[in-house]
Chain A
Amino acid sequence: MALVVRRPQLKWWEKIYLPVIAKGLVITMRHFIRTLTGRTKVTMQYPEEKWNDQLPEHYRGAPALVTDEQDRERCVACQLCEFICPPRAITIIPEEIPSEDKWAKVEKRPLAFNIDMIRCIYCGLCEEVCPEQAIFLRKDYAITGESRAEMVHDKARLYEVGGRRVGLVNKWNDLK
């Protein structure tokens, strides 16, 4: 069953194009004039105007690590984010927490936690997969650097961006 496409039957004046071309020209001219006289609202002028205060709650900006109320790093280096990360932007080297550390009972923490922000696609899967509520996508979107190395956010930078986050589930409480 072939599908028969019905072509519109063109009138003679449509066939010579010129009237329709004129019509098209009128439309574009109208847009030109409206924009020129400022009646059409155009794009936000980025560096001067920013929409920081209008960002929605669920905005997905740069991923960052957070610490809890007691300044414990929440990340335990389970590497699930490294696994789920579609562009493989995350690299984690785990280490054992030494027994003299205050948080030795947590046993494991990241020795290195790098996110290559050139690779990151801001999908938020790392936040979604994290079993420890340790990584969150922040509202920072202007991530720039002058070298590739600078664009790799290391652990210190990630905690600096993430800061302390309170009110989350505290898995490593005193009962633990």
Chain B
Amino acid sequence: MADDLVNVQIDGTWHQFPKGTRMIEACRQAGVEVPHYCYHPKLSSPGNCRMCLVEMGMPPRPKPGEELARDEDGRLPIQWMPRPVIACANTVSENLGIRTESALTKSCREGVMELLLINHPLDCPICDQAGECRLQEFSVEHGTGGSRFREDKVKKPKNVDIGPRVRLDDERCIMCSRCIRFTAEVADDPVLGFTERGSHTTLAVHPGRRLENNYSLNTVDICPVGALTSTDFRFQMRVWFLKETESICTGCGRGCNTEVSSREGSILRQTPRENNEVNSTWMCDQGRLDFHYVNSEARLTQPLLKGSEGHRAVSWEIAVKTLADKLAGFESSKIAIIASARLTNEDLYLVRRLAQQLGVKELDVIARFGEDDGYLVAADRNPNSRGAVLVLGLDSDPGSRISGIRRDIESGKIAALLAIGEDLTSPEGGFSPALLSQLEFLGQIHHTANATADAAVVVLPGATSFEKSGSMVNVTGRLQRLAPVVPLPGEAREDWLILRDLLQALDGGNGAGSSDEVFTLLAHEVSAFEGRTLASISPLGEVLIETGETVPLLEREKGRIAKGEIVG
């Protein structure tokens, strides 16, 4: 491999890089950030923003018969080019020199910044991008601080409705074309493009089309300025108030890595986090916006017990005791437990312990299937089906016993049912309220009020995936971590904690004090998890089992990297 490495001088020091590395990436690896707008490692490099201009030099071409003098390290002298080059589209070669801080580079950046700001409206006080805006950052770092432009700025359309989830402000656009390339190259829905020329260049959506594909919000992420903003997050909160928590999306089995932004206990947005084994740097709109239910009014905040006059709030002690006493009062063959593949491995492990304690055989999760969209959305819409199979030790496909349980309830074979993290009356659950009313006892642990809870005798308020720590296994068999983003509302508790208390009330207590300890117990019992701890799971997750499944979007990306179209 040594043949593939070339020597490159960056700001006076020599480094080695594989041949063909983009200059901008070489600089990044050498610890020098070259400012850029249009360049994105996952997209092609048109080189149209000119922000990444650097000074480049190569060994002079020797006269015929002349031998260039090498210094003591064997390096040839570098002859600097009089004009700068763009670092994003050029690759490194042997004995190449790059200057990122020279007077020429600095004056280039100042010039580019001044030109970019000519028509930029400077409405930072109202712009959502302020605080994470590359134009702001580079203006401070590389700009001159003043403008010599005395004429009127070009007026362009503002607040343009280009799609259901994205708003366009053309005055703020700096024509980097990232969004155009994303829609064309990644989302395969090329609806964006430039119209007009020169100062009047305008980003526009194709006549008669709208930016409404399921990946449209990624354009908001990659837009370096505030031209494209999310309708959902628009004017909700300034980004400098946000607290970022690294977690994963639980919308489907893909388990896209996310960064969840919250302030003072309420979630405001969710953005993708780069993980080249799961979701690259992208995420679907559906999963991204699937957090509003956390702040919903319908959240359960207190343990409820059904009496003659409907549900009333009781203390946790009474609620858990009642649930334990009721369950213990039935023969084990008359009880069924329906858990959820939306629960974490830790929750599911305690469900398994609960089933063992009660001697319950009828144990399953609700299956959810949709269509694989060929990008990121997986056919399995449960985030932890793999984990459920592994942890619960199901001997058949998840969801295959549900119809049997339904029949047994009808025939009266099953008299008591505990639903954990699932609304059984949902379309996937398929239980009718009439069927549930045939049960002698129904208990539920869930985070939000639902029809099953209406029928349940005991309802315990659980946590959403944004409020608990734990782990899940995605469709490709990757073990990933969830982190609590916001505190639980009211008296609601994390599901593992509720299950632990329930186990203790049934005299099957294990004394686990945290989800980490539950994971350790799980690792002792389930061989696939052996030797791992919750804290040891890398922020990017780690492979737990081989499933042979691939991510279509990642496969295409790999192909483009191989062809040299993108850096990756």
Q: Do chains A and B touch in the complex (CB under 8 A)?
A: yes
Query: Residues on A close to B: CB < 8 A?
Result: 76-80, 82-83, 94-96, 99, 105-108, 131-132, 175-176
Query: Given that A131-B124, A131-B125 are contacting pairs, would A108 and B158 also be in contact in the complex, using a CB cutoff of 8 Å?
Result: no
Interface majority SS (helix, strand, loop, mixed), chain B: loop
What residue of chain B has the Cβ atom nearest to residue A91's Cβ? Answer: B264
B235 touches A78 (CB 8 A): no
What residue of chain A has the Cβ atom nearest to residue B122's Cβ? Answer: A171
- Closest Cβ of chain B to A40, distance in Å, is 52
Chain A residues within an 8 Å CB radius of B238: 78-80, 83
- Closest Cβ of chain B to A86, distance in Å, is 16
Choose from A83, A94, A105, A175 the contact partner of B235 (Cβ within 8 Å): A94
For the complex of A and B, the 6 pairs showing the least CB-CB separation, nearest first, are A78-B125, A108-B126, A79-B238, A76-B126, A94-B235, A131-B125
B152 located at the interface, meaning its Cβ lies under 8 Å from any Cβ of chain A in the complex: yes
B29 located at the interface, meaning its Cβ lies under 8 Å from any Cβ of chain A in the complex: no
Q: Which of B123, B125, B241 has the most CB of A within 10 A?
A: B125
**Cα of A88 to Cα of B420 in the assembled complex, Å:** 41
What residue of chain B has the Cβ atom nearest to residue A78's Cβ? Answer: B125
Contact with A along B299-342 (1 / 0, CB 8 A): 00000000000000000000000000000000000000000000
What residue of chain A has the Cβ atom nearest to residue B236's Cβ? Answer: A94
- Closest Cβ of chain B to A51, distance in Å, is 36
What residue of chain B has the Cβ atom nearest to residue A92's Cβ? Answer: B238
- Closest Cβ of chain B to A10, distance in Å, is 63
Chain B residues within an 8 Å CB radius of A105: 158
**Cα of A109 to Cα of B282 in the assembled complex, Å:** 32
Interface of chain B residues 229 through 287 with chain A (CB within 8 A)? 234-238, 240-241
Chain A residues within an 8 Å CB radius of B240: 83
- Closest Cβ of chain B to A73, distance in Å, is 13
**Cα of A78 to Cα of B124 in the assembled complex, Å:** 8
Beyond A77-B235, A82-B241, 4 additional contacts (C-beta under 8 Å) are A78-B124, A107-B123, A107-B158, A131-B124
A107 touches B152 (CB 8 A): no
Chain A residues within an 8 Å CB radius of B241: 79, 82-83
- Closest Cβ of chain A to B132, distance in Å, is 14
A108 touches B235 (CB 8 A): yes
Contact with A along B142-171 (1 / 0, CB 8 A): 000000000011000011000000000000
Query: Residues on B close to A: CB < 8 A?
Result: 121, 123-126, 130, 152-153, 158-159, 234-238, 240-241
**Cα of A68 to Cα of B126 in the assembled complex, Å:** 18
B235 touches A132 (CB 8 A): no
**Cα of A94 to Cα of B219 in the assembled complex, Å:** 24
Chain A residues within an 8 Å CB radius of B234: 96
**Count of chain A to chain B residue pairs whose CB atoms are closer than 8 Å in the complex:** 40
A80 touches B235 (CB 8 A): no
What residue of chain A has the Cβ atom nearest to residue B125's Cβ? Answer: A78
Chain B residues within an 8 Å CB radius of A77: 126, 235
Chain A residues within an 8 Å CB radius of B125: 76, 78, 80, 131-132
What residue of chain B has the Cβ atom nearest to residue A96's Cβ? Answer: B235
Choose from B126, B152, B237 the contact partner of A175 (Cβ within 8 Å): B152
**Cα of A82 to Cα of B125 in the assembled complex, Å:** 13
What residue of chain B has the Cβ atom nearest to residue A176's Cβ? Answer: B121
Chain B residues within an 8 Å CB radius of A96: 234-235
What residue of chain B has the Cβ atom nearest to residue A83's Cβ? Answer: B240
**Cα of A9 to Cα of B506 in the assembled complex, Å:** 84
13 contacts across the A-B interface (CB closer than 8 A): A76-B126, A77-B235, A78-B124, A78-B126, A79-B237, A82-B241, A95-B235, A107-B126, A108-B126, A108-B235, A131-B124, A131-B125, A175-B152
Chain B residues within an 8 Å CB radius of A94: 235-237
What residue of chain B has the Cβ atom nearest to residue A134's Cβ? Answer: B125
A106 touches B126 (CB 8 A): yes
A107 touches B159 (CB 8 A): yes
**Cα of A77 to Cα of B237 in the assembled complex, Å:** 10
**Cα of A175 to Cα of B154 in the assembled complex, Å:** 10
What residue of chain B has the Cβ atom nearest to residue A132's Cβ? Answer: B125
- Closest Cβ of chain A to B225, distance in Å, is 15
**Cα of A60 to Cα of B241 in the assembled complex, Å:** 27
Choose from B130, B158, B159 the contact partner of A78 (Cβ within 8 Å): B130
- Closest Cβ of chain B to A137, distance in Å, is 19
**Cα of A131 to Cα of B238 in the assembled complex, Å:** 15
Q: Which of A80, A95, A106 has the most CB of B within 10 A?
A: A80
Chain A residues within an 8 Å CB radius of B123: 107
**Cα of A115 to Cα of B561 in the assembled complex, Å:** 54
Chain B residues within an 8 Å CB radius of A175: 152-153
Chain B residues within an 8 Å CB radius of A76: 125-126
- Closest Cβ of chain A to B123, distance in Å, is 8
- Closest Cβ of chain B to A26, distance in Å, is 62
What residue of chain B has the Cβ atom nearest to residue A130's Cβ? Answer: B125
- Closest Cβ of chain B to A95, distance in Å, is 7
- Closest Cβ of chain A to B146, distance in Å, is 16
Chain A residues within an 8 Å CB radius of B124: 78, 131
- Closest Cβ of chain A to B176, distance in Å, is 23
- Closest Cβ of chain B to A17, distance in Å, is 62
Chain B residues within an 8 Å CB radius of A176: 121
What residue of chain A has the Cβ atom nearest to residue B240's Cβ? Answer: A83
- Closest Cβ of chain A to B86, distance in Å, is 33
What residue of chain A has the Cβ atom nearest to residue B153's Cβ? Answer: A175
What residue of chain A has the Cβ atom nearest to residue B238's Cβ? Answer: A79
Chain A residues within an 8 Å CB radius of B159: 99, 107
- Closest Cβ of chain A to B268, distance in Å, is 12
- Closest Cβ of chain B to A101, distance in Å, is 12
**Cα of A65 to Cα of B389 in the assembled complex, Å:** 60
- Closest Cβ of chain B to A71, distance in Å, is 19
Chain B residues within an 8 Å CB radius of A107: 123, 126, 158-159, 235
**Cα of A99 to Cα of B124 in the assembled complex, Å:** 20
Chain B residues within an 8 Å CB radius of A82: 241
**Cα of A103 to Cα of B141 in the assembled complex, Å:** 34
